[in-house]
Structure 1
Amino acid sequence: MLDVKGLHSFYGTIEALHGVEIEVNDREIVALIGSNGAGKTTLLNSISGHVTKTGSIHFQGKDITKLAPHKISRSSLLQVPEGHHVFPGLTVEQNLLVGTTAEKGIRLRAGDNRELLDMVYEIFPRLLERRKQLAWSLSGGEQQMLAIGRALMGKPKLLMLDEPSMGLAPLIIDELFEKIVEINKNGTPVLLVEQNAHLALSVSERAYIMERGNITLSGKSADLLHDSRVTEAYLGKQKKEQEN
């Protein structure tokens, strides 16, 4: 599905990723865990074509290393950035329709996309209830659902999520991650960047640990949950933060 080998990414003359290698297989949730500045978002942006890089990135057997971002997204490799990015002045349904593309451009009529809309509304019933509201009036959790729903309107063959839990209340996070698991069970592979290591490892099949632009550890998520290196570096710290 996705195969990244020997990836070096750069911001000007500064090398941010140092020979990173990851893969995502069909129907998997793969987690990417690391602290702030580890290079997780840089990796996603490199895959999406927004960062200067060397190495190779193959998606569904096709070399996309040098493709422009819009051509990568048209190959149905879609990224939901960190930060609840929505169009505040559009309604919920208009935001969703912006996620649909066709050979002749964006189709903004609901009737042209009813099947896709129904699919998103089934996963996120709250968006159906608020379909006529302007996006700025939604809560942070609802905006994140909308951002993910808009990506689903593009019929992704791989969905990349960057810190979907950022800034959300615990109950909303639990609900959101239930939806992510549901999306995956419906057949969409997910590459999940998440600082909440316990949550990410709980919903994923495999995981990679990033530090300072390098992959330092990888394996089955169930094994990493009990790995002392992961526990000491991430899970113990998060437990203390939750207790405080």
Structure 2
Amino acid sequence: MEAVLKIENLIANYGRIEALHGISLEVREHEIVALIGSNGAGKTTLLNSVSGHVTKEGKIELAGENISKLAPDKIARKGVLHVPEGRHVFPGLTVEQNLLVGTAANKGVRLSAGNNKGDLDYVYDIFPRLLERRKQLAWSLSGGEQQMLAIGRAIMGHPRLLMLDEPSMGLAPLVIDELFEKIVEINKSGTPVLLVEQNAKLALKVSDRAYILERGNISLSGKSKDLINDKRVTEAYLGKSR
């Protein structure tokens, strides 16, 4: 499979501190790739580097095109869509208005349901709960529903690569299970996913491959089905997973 995202020798700073020390990784077509590591390992910095929000050195390619020096808005228009930790929905807009904002990523803001009916239907098919609540203001949604909304908004931008940062954060176990079923469904529809997730066991369960990030370096990588049985991974991460 061809690489959708290819990172070579990525060095990135968090303030004055070098947070990533020569990282290389790739996400291929049809894959879910997990990034696992403790707090402060550099996982979020890596996603922010790919989306253009962090000063960095090295090469980042999207489907063979170098996007390392592009501004964040141009990277988003190329199809790299990032759902950050904390969801960041627009609380004063309705569910449907939030989704329509997502169209700005690839075709400019067109806040008309009629112009985007096909995309809305696709999102509502994946997340029926959003259809039920499409006229509600986003602030009134539960945490799980807000996370679904944030992911749905990204899907409205037709992602070439979907990056998810800690999607399970603060959610109940049953909600997490439902959400991750939807992430797998999105991936199976043809969207590659780069997943940062605190729940290492769940991340390895749903992903094809994974990278273990420690103190800004990749310490281990491989197929997720192999890593989930690796003693080093089990001792460091799986014992803490729910």
TM-score (norm 1): 0.96
Per the TM alignment, residue 145 of structure 1 is displaced from its structure 2 partner at its CA by 0.1
Q: Partner residue of 1:101?
A: 104
Aligned counterparts of 1:91 and 1:78: Cα–Cα separation in 2: 21
State the Cα deviation string for residues 75-127 of structure 1 (Å, max 9, x = none). Answer: 01100000121000000000000000278730001000000000000000000
Q: Partner residue of 2:29?
A: 26
After superposition, the Cα gap between the structure-2 partners of 1:168 and 1:102, relative to the gap in structure 1 and judged at 3 Å, is: closer
Q: Partner residue of 2:125?
A: 122
Aligned counterparts of 2:139 and 2:239: Cα–Cα separation in 1: 36
Match of 2:53, SS state, is coil
| One-letter amino acid of the structure 2 residue matched with residue 228 of structure 1 | K
Matched, 1:71 2:59: no
Per the TM alignment, residue 167 of structure 1 is displaced from its structure 2 partner at its CA by 0.2
Tell me how many residue pairs correspond in the alignment.
Answer: 239
Matched, 1:212 2:215: yes
| One-letter amino acid of the structure 2 residue matched with residue 132 of structure 1 | K
Moved over 3 A (4+): none
Matched-pair contact (CA < 8 Å) for 2:44–2:196: yes
Matched-pair contact (CA < 8 Å) for 2:76–2:105: no
Q: Partner residue of 1:147?
A: 150
Matched, 1:180 2:149: no
Matched, 1:166 2:165: no
Per the TM alignment, residue 197 of structure 1 is displaced from its structure 2 partner at its CA by 0.4
Q: Structure 1: any 5+ residue segments left out of the alignment? A: none
The 5 Å alignment of 1:74-85 reads 74-85=77-88
Per the TM alignment, residue 42 of structure 1 is displaced from its structure 2 partner at its CA by 0.2
Matched-pair contact (CA < 8 Å) for 2:99–2:149: yes
After superposition, the Cα gap between the structure-2 partners of 1:102 and 1:188, relative to the gap in structure 1 and judged at 3 Å, is: closer
State the Cα deviation string for residues 146-177 of structure 1 (Å, max 9, x = none). Answer: 00000000000110000000000000000000
Aligned counterparts of 1:185 and 1:152: Cα–Cα separation in 2: 13
After superposition, the Cα gap between the structure-2 partners of 1:131 and 1:9, relative to the gap in structure 1 and judged at 3 Å, is: same
**Structure 1 residue corresponding to 2:196, chosen from 185, 188, 193:** 193
Q: Partner residue of 2:229?
A: 226
**Structure 2 residue corresponding to 1:134, chosen from 129, 134, 137:** 137
Q: Partner residue of 1:50?
A: 53
| One-letter amino acid of the structure 2 residue matched with residue 200 of structure 1 | A
Q: Percent same amino acid at aligned positions?
A: 76
Q: Structure 2: any 5+ residue segments left out of the alignment? A: none
| One-letter amino acid of the structure 2 residue matched with residue 40 of structure 1 | K
Q: Calculate the aligned-residue CA RMSD, in Å.
A: 1.1
Matched-pair contact (CA < 8 Å) for 2:106–2:157: no
| One-letter amino acid of the structure 2 residue matched with residue 47 of structure 1 | V
| One-letter amino acid of the structure 2 residue matched with residue 237 of structure 1 | K
Aligned counterparts of 2:171 and 2:23: Cα–Cα separation in 1: 30
